[in-house]
Structure 1
Amino acid sequence: MGKLDWIILGGTLLFIVAYGVWKTRGNKDVSDYVLGGNKAKWWTIGLSVMATQASAITFLSTPGQAFHDGMGFVQFYFGLPLAMIIICIVFIPLYHKLKVYTAYEFLERRFDLKTRSLAAVLFLIQRGLAAGITIFAPSIILSAVLGWDLKTLNIIIGSLVIIYTVSGGTNAVSVTQKQQMFVIMTGMFIAFFFILGYLPADITFTKALKIAGASDKLNILDFSLNTQSRYTFWSGITGGMFLALAYFGTDQSQVQRYLSGKSVRESQLGLIFNGILKIPMQFFILLVGVMVFVFYQYNPSPLNFNPAATNAILQSSHAEDYKILEEGHKNLEIEKKIAQDQFSAALDLDDPYATAAAQNDMLLIIEKEKNNREAAKAMIKKADDLVETNDKDYVFIHFILNYLPKGLIGLLLAVILSAAMSSTASELNALGTITALDLYKRNRKNEFSPGHYVKISKLFTLLWGIIAIIIACVANLFDNLIQLVNIIGSIFYGNVLGIFLLAFFFRFVKGNAVFIAAIITQVAVILVWYLDWMSYLWLNAFGCAVVILLALVLESFDRLHKTPPIKGD
């Protein structure tokens, strides 16, 4: 990185923090701090909702996901528009009518205090873990590729977020997320056009898509009914919908975004805005990853994109064996480029037989390359079982640092860190709010001044920020980062969603039945996940269905038990 990169990176981040603090100074009461005074317009809500979900993990992991596995991951979001419609019709009007500060406040009014507290605690567990991961994700990757100290990066990212989130609350999160989304999307579009510009002169965008398609990277739709398959049309439209319903309808980090709306209509329009744009945005980010794949068909790539993994193996007793694999990888890259040129020429000649033959050659070489990379991962694991061999999260950052010009490197790093800050800010804001209002305020007998609860909300936000930094400092990378966050959510979200659906649609069910059903369901979901009985996306529908059925059974049994016997004549 050059001086210009440092100036752009530092200037962007400092501007966002300073703007957030300056723009939102002077919160007087809980309504101002938690709901931003209910002044947010629909476009602010929409961008804030998108920025909350689009963490740094999205912009690091998603292109790598497409590079290795193609576009199929976009199916994960197919249920989101349906979820947005349901939330707009059912959740938003009810939340606004009851004038709640948190989603779980509604549960006490419907059931009882213990059910509210249980849902709040489940939220705090899963979102507290997720907050640590959203800090850890960019830190570990930037640490590996730039040589920066990991813990220092965790502290820097966490501290920057804490400054403006504690200072300005919900309003600070919303106003900074607008700036962050602008930086994020500008950076991604610039990267996309640079990738296209770096392709050979005869490789147009249309031809690049054909190359990607011939390499099985445009496999967008999978209609198979295999529940073990992570991403299919059916898992997206069902499991993805349940996850989106739970996340946007019951997760305080999202609910707080649209509860700050000026009116029910503004909140609804903000979510519809997100529902319309989210799939195209994810499609575009995946497409960036696919174009990176095409780029590396014509340009050299490392055997493993994680530089820490490469350094570990080259400093071990397996170094010579690894160098042999690297030599084989270089030879395959030469063969791959020849096969790509043959495929391109066949496309120009419009010869279907030559095109099919060239495609077969391409796929054989790609399979050999994949096997070579897997052999390299196994060898790295032998050399050092602590180093991360899964390099999906390092693909896009490798391209950024090695091929983008000076200045743009700083901008793209600002994109990654801005995304980390935006999602982490929403999480800390929600964690502080839930702890202050659902647990602290509700379980205290004495009533205090509005200013006291603002101070307590700030204190708990600060505390959760410190906890998130600690989690980030002790976390370990697990498979693909974007999948890890979704797995954590899926373990808890289905259960919480079921509790809310019981509250909305099953008026005869009481708090005791729901409370017991929720505890049993949470244990069952964790067990099913641990035993790997189904893909994590299905856990959302499973948890939701189990808690509803259990609650109905328990309530029916309780009613039968309490019904007095009919006396005979």
Structure 2
Amino acid sequence: MAILDWSVLLITLLFIVVYGSWKTKGSKNVKDFIKGGNEAKWWTIGLSVMATQASAITFLSTPGQAFHSGMGFVQFYFGLPLAMIIICVVFIPIYHRLKVYTAYEYLESRFDLKTRSLAAILFLIQRGLAAGITIFAPAIILSAVLGWDLLTLNIIIGVLVIIYTVSGGTKAVSVTQKQQMAIIFIGMFAAFFIIISYLPEDISFSKAIQIAGASGKMEVLDFSFDLNNRYTIWTGFLGGTFLMLSYFGTDQSQVQRYLSGKSIRESQLGLLFNGFLKVPMQFFILLVGVMVFVFYQFNASPLNFNPAATDAVKSSVLAEEYHSLEEKHRHISEQKKELQFSFADNPDDQSIKEQIKVLNQEEIDNREAAKEIILKADPAQEVNDKDYVFIHFILNNLPRGLIGLLLAVILSAAMSSTASELNALAATTTMDLYRRNDKHERTDMYYVKVTKWFTLAWGILAILVASVANLFDNLIQLVNIIGSIFYGNILGIFLIAFFIKMVRGNAVFMAGIITQVLIIWVFQMDILPYLWLNLLGCALVVILSVMIQLFSKRKTV
């Protein structure tokens, strides 16, 4: 990277850390530190909620997801607006009326302490793991850029987030997230328009869409009932709605964002703002990935986008074998380039379209063969390169200054999401576990200090998780898989609390434990796509709770 890129990157990140620490220093009590003094306006809440969900993984993985699989991933978010409406009508009024610090406080008033503790612990497990991944994602980027080891980068990123999160709590997170979202929007729009400008002169945006469509990248909607297909209309509206209900309604990292609102109305407007802007935002980020795909139809692309994997195989005894696959890749790319120009001029010619499909499959097969050779050369290498696609494009094609801005975008997203998670983890640990079981009389400032220490502790744990993390099929999928394993169960417990008054604490506690064991088993056996685990977990805990409650009544009679 050039000096200009380093300057843009460092100035942006230091501004966020210094501004967040200065603007919010000196919290006087727990309400200030955990709920931001209940001063947030609806636009601050909306941007904060969006920034919490939009981690670095969103801007790192989503374009790569679109590059490989197209626009279908957007269906994952179709249930979000519906979930926002339900939360605004049901969840927010209850939380504000009870003046809770965390979502799990409500469960004690409805059930008992052990149910509150169970839900809090399930949240801490899944969010603690997710926090580590949100640190790990940008560490991969800088590792590719700088050649530094991942451990050093995990520590640097984690420490930057810890500084202002410990300093200012919820208010620091909300204040900095507005600046972070501004940087994110500017950077992504700049990247999009530059990609379009880099296409050949006679390839307009509409022709680029046609070219992407010919390779199946513009298939947004899938109405099939195939359970092997992760992303369909049905998984989005059913599994996605339940996931979003649980995430935004019961996950403290999100609940804490709108608990800081000045009123119920401000919180509701903030969530609705997020609900109706999030789907277009994800669509746009996926479209950026599709345009990167179109760009590489006319420009050279690597056989594998992970530079470390390429270097490993080229320095091994299999270098010649890999080189022959690279030559084949170049030959396929040249053929595709000629066909894409022909298709742009004759979009109704089905024969050209069929030839492109054949070459696309040849390219996929060639890439898979390359992955096998890389693993033979070094089994420890990561051959799944989805998460490296966008960063490769940024580093090798964008002008100076913009590279630094795009890296700042991804790191800003990582910092905002991680800060929200650490803030929520600390608040839940303090209020639901420590303070609730502390038998001594303590001052408010004592619990502020305790929350800061827990923030530091969770930050260190997140760095440790990041240090042992590996790429999964795709980082954005990994975060959602972790959430889907736990979220359905937690959501079901809350729905029982809201709507099924006959169920008591013992029944829902037992059902929650049984459900969690069953969901982990279903996931390990790979019986269902992970999004359906949200619906299954929710349904299981509701049904089991009712059955256990009815059985216990009969037993007492």
- State the TM-score, normalizing by the size of structure 1: 0.97
Superposition map of 1:238-253 within 5 A? 238-253=238-253
Which position in structure 2 is the counterpart of 1:314?
A: 314
Deviation at 1:380, TM superposition (A): 1.0
Residue 224 of structure 2 aligns to a residue whose secondary structure is coil
Which position in structure 2 is the counterpart of 1:209?
A: 209
Deviation at 1:561, TM superposition (A): 1.0
Deviation at 1:224, TM superposition (A): 0.5
Residue 201 of structure 1 aligns to a residue whose secondary structure is coil
Following the alignment from structure 1 to structure 2, what is the Cα–Cα distance between the partners of residues 356 and 155?
Answer: 53
* Structure 1 residue identity aligned to 2:364: K
Q: Is the 8 A contact 2:198 2:295 kept in 1?
A: yes
CA-to-partner distance for each residue in 1:183-205, whole Å, 9 max, x for gaps?
01100000000000000000000
Q: Is the 8 A contact 1:145 1:307 kept in 2?
A: no
CA-to-partner distance for each residue in 1:73-119, whole Å, 9 max, x for gaps?
00000000110000000000000000000000000000000000111
Which position in structure 2 is the counterpart of 1:263?
A: 263
* Structure 1 residue identity aligned to 2:175: V
Deviation at 1:149, TM superposition (A): 2.2
Deviation at 1:145, TM superposition (A): 3.9
Instruction: State which drifts further: 73-82 or 470-479.
Output: 470-479
* Structure 2 residue identity aligned to 1:525: I
Pick aligned residue for 1:381 from 375, 385, 392: 375
Deviation at 1:141, TM superposition (A): 3.1
Deviation at 1:137, TM superposition (A): 1.1
Following the alignment from structure 1 to structure 2, what is the Cα–Cα distance between the partners of residues 114 and 384?
Answer: 48
Superposition map of 1:413-562 within 5 A? 413-562=407-556
Which position in structure 2 is the counterpart of 1:237?
A: 237
CA-to-partner distance for each residue in 1:456-493, whole Å, 9 max, x for gaps?
01110011001111111121221200000000000000
Which position in structure 1 is the counterpart of 2:224?
A: 224
CA-to-partner distance for each residue in 1:388-421, whole Å, 9 max, x for gaps?
1010000000000000011101000000100100
* Structure 1 residue identity aligned to 2:458: W
CA-to-partner distance for each residue in 1:11-64, whole Å, 9 max, x for gaps?
000000111011111100000000000000000000000000000000010000
Following the alignment from structure 2 to structure 1, what is the Cα–Cα distance between the partners of residues 296 and 530?
Answer: 31
- State the TM-score, normalizing by the size of structure 2: 0.99
* Structure 2 residue identity aligned to 1:124: L
Deviation at 1:525, TM superposition (A): 0.2
Following the alignment from structure 1 to structure 2, what is the Cα–Cα distance between the partners of residues 140 and 343?
Answer: 37
Percent identical pairs in the alignment equals: 70
Deviation at 1:344, TM superposition (A): 1.5
Deviation at 1:376, TM superposition (A): 0.6
Which position in structure 2 is the counterpart of 1:279?
A: 279
* Structure 2 residue identity aligned to 1:251: D
CA-to-partner distance for each residue in 1:410-434, whole Å, 9 max, x for gaps?
0000001001000000000000000
Residue 437 of structure 2 aligns to a residue whose secondary structure is coil
Q: Does 1:156 align with 2:156?
A: yes
Deviation at 1:345, TM superposition (A): 2.0
Pick aligned residue for 1:411 from 384, 389, 405: 405
Q: Is the 8 A contact 2:336 2:356 kept in 1?
A: yes
Q: Which runs of 5+ in 2 are unaligned?
A: none
Q: Is the 8 A contact 1:145 1:398 kept in 2?
A: no
Following the alignment from structure 1 to structure 2, what is the Cα–Cα distance between the partners of residues 58 and 29?
Answer: 34
* Structure 2 residue identity aligned to 1:398: H
* Structure 2 residue identity aligned to 1:80: L
Deviation at 1:316, TM superposition (A): 1.6
Superposed CA RMSD in Å reads 0.7
Q: Is the 8 A contact 1:87 1:245 kept in 2?
A: yes
Q: Is the 8 A contact 1:35 1:260 kept in 2?
A: yes
Following the alignment from structure 2 to structure 1, what is the Cα–Cα distance between the partners of residues 133 and 362?
Answer: 34
CA-to-partner distance for each residue in 1:201-254, whole Å, 9 max, x for gaps?
000001100111111000100000112210000000000000000000000000
Which position in structure 2 is the counterpart of 1:365?
A: 359
Residue 536 of structure 1 aligns to a residue whose secondary structure is coil
Following the alignment from structure 1 to structure 2, what is the Cα–Cα distance between the partners of residues 366 and 146?
Answer: 32
Which position in structure 2 is the counterpart of 1:398?
A: 392
Deviation at 1:299, TM superposition (A): 0.2
Which position in structure 2 is the counterpart of 1:195?
A: 195
Residue 238 of structure 1 aligns to a residue whose secondary structure is helix
* Structure 1 residue identity aligned to 2:459: G
Following the alignment from structure 1 to structure 2, what is the Cα–Cα distance between the partners of residues 475 and 346?
Answer: 47
Residue 243 of structure 2 aligns to a residue whose secondary structure is helix
Following the alignment from structure 1 to structure 2, what is the Cα–Cα distance between the partners of residues 473 and 328?
Answer: 36
* Structure 2 residue identity aligned to 1:172: A
Instruction: State which drifts further: 361-370 or 1-10.
Output: 361-370
Which position in structure 2 is the counterpart of 1:30?
A: 30
Following the alignment from structure 2 to structure 1, what is the Cα–Cα distance between the partners of residues 178 and 498?
Answer: 33
Which position in structure 2 is the counterpart of 1:91?
A: 91
Following the alignment from structure 1 to structure 2, what is the Cα–Cα distance between the partners of residues 346 and 425?
Answer: 51
* Structure 2 residue identity aligned to 1:495: N
Residue 230 of structure 1 aligns to a residue whose secondary structure is coil
Residue 433 of structure 1 aligns to a residue whose secondary structure is helix
Instruction: State which drifts further: 402-411 or 360-369.
Output: 360-369
Following the alignment from structure 1 to structure 2, what is the Cα–Cα distance between the partners of residues 25 and 137?
Answer: 29
Deviation at 1:269, TM superposition (A): 0.2
Following the alignment from structure 2 to structure 1, what is the Cα–Cα distance between the partners of residues 318 and 160?
Answer: 41
Q: Is the 8 A contact 2:384 2:471 kept in 1?
A: no
* Structure 1 residue identity aligned to 2:244: A
* Structure 1 residue identity aligned to 2:487: Y
Deviation at 1:532, TM superposition (A): 0.1
Deviation at 1:364, TM superposition (A): 1.1
